[in-house]
Structure 1
Amino acid sequence: MRAFAEPFAALLAGTGLPRMSARVFVSLLTCDSGSLTAAELVRQLQVSPASVSKAIGYLEAMELVVRGPDAGSRRERYVIVDDVWLRAWRADTGAHVQVAAAAQRGAEILGADTPAGARLHKMGQFFAWLSEQMSHSVLADMVVQDAHTVLAALIYAAEPLAADELAAALDWPRKRVTDALSAIECRPALADPLALTSTGADTYAVTTRPDRLNPRQRNALRARSAGAVALE
């Protein structure tokens, strides 16, 4: 098992996972129970308790591992959650969306006419495309249809709505609404040319999608609108 576990952990570490977190994750992944105590991890990996604790903290923050009680003792067991790969996919896709948005903001700050602004704009477009491509193959048709219905409801309401308000208006279970909202957040192209925004705790609205037009195009349209108002 060690001949497989160590190279596999090194492979995961090569993707950006801290090495000790990768070793702990692989240990949990390859044990039959899917769970181990901190003491068991220390013995198996031959590392310090502090190293295991730090690695577990990272995996918990990534929602790849959860704590559970160890039957018959006060110790805790660390467990790989059932939907670990879906969680990992969502985290990765969400990170790409955040990078795309940050790059787009940088392009606006630096200016679309500057070389740095142009590079950031291209970066934002690439990561937005990458996120959409990753999401496309896993979203079921029903979820996509629900996402469109939620968007239509937000447009029709013309004001921010909470998930509970959407569920009541659509006569849906709350989870169906939150699944649709999650789908839109994971795949922004579903709302194109609009964008879903969070306006508060569990409250959502729709706005124009920021990366559909570059800063120069938006400035030109604003100038045109301002000119039309002045003529009136």
Structure 2
Amino acid sequence: MSDDEVLARERFVDSFGAAFHEAGIPPMSSRVFAYLLVVDREKVSARELAEGLGASAAAVSGAVNYLIGVGMIERAPGTRGDRQHYYRLFPGDIWTAILLRRLPLVERWYESMRAGIADLGHEPQAGSPLYESALYFEFMRQETPAIMERWKAYRDAHLGDQG
């Protein structure tokens, strides 16, 4: 890899990592995820992550554990006898995989809000944060399958057999 490519990778990791951090992902986890997006390999070892990010093994370990815990990456098998830990993005359509892993959480939030509305005896009304939140998650539950179908068609139209 040329020096220019290394610098471009570092700029991307810093830029996307910062944007992801602004969305609430811890800084090192953001950088690890950005690195996995841009590295051109199916899986990356913990050692390679640490070297590529200029980070400690402990920082990488915490970051990958967070990303696995929130369903954004997964452990990847090594070769037999290999003691390295490997990580990867979900194979195929990463963003759909991440979103689909979040849907049970949306369902739990929705059910909890509906139960709260019923228990508290709230009447549906505009301006009620609880009621509007329940409406939002009800909408997301109903619309996400159609959005996913439209996304697949859009992706296929742009990537064809490459996707």
- What is the TM-score normalised by the length of structure 2? 0.71
| Contact 1:104/1:124, CA 8 A, preserved across alignment | yes
Tell me how far apart the structure 2 counterparts of residues 42 and 16 of structure 1 sit (CA, whole Å).
22
Question: For residue 78 of structure 1, what is the aligned residue in structure 2?
Answer: 87
User: 1:113: how far off?
Assistant: 4.7
Q: Deviation of residue 6 (structure 1)?
A: 1.0
The answer (yes or no) to whether the contact 1:93–1:135 under 8 Å persists in 2 is no
CA displacement 1:32-69 (0-9 Å, x = unmatched):
11321111111222222221111111222233322234
Structure 2 stretches lacking a partner, 5+ long: 1-8, 151-163
Q: Letter of the aligned partner of 1:75 in structure 2?
A: Q
Higher strand share: 1
TM-score of the superposed pair, with normalisation by structure 1: 0.52
Q: Is 1:38 aligned to 2:50, yes or no?
A: no
Q: Secondary structure at the match of 1:16?
A: coil
Deviations 1:80-139 (A, max 9, x none): 221432221113333322222111111122222598xx5422321122113322332224
In the other structure, the counterpart of 2:113 is 103
Structure 2 residue corresponding to 1:50, chosen from 27, 43, 58: 58
CA change 1:62–1:108 in 2 (3 A) is: same
One-letter code of the match for 1:52? Answer: V
CA contact (8 A) 2:96 2:148 kept: no
Match of 2:137 among 127, 131, 155: 127
Aligned position for 1:26: 34
How many Å separate the matches in 1 of 2:43 and 2:129? 45
d(CA) in 1 for partners of 2:22, 2:47: 26
**Partner SS state of residue 128, structure 1:** helix
Query: When the two structures are aligned, how many residues end up with a matched partner?
Result: 138
Distance 2:47 2:58 in 1: 11
Tell me which structure has the larger Cα radius of gyration: 1
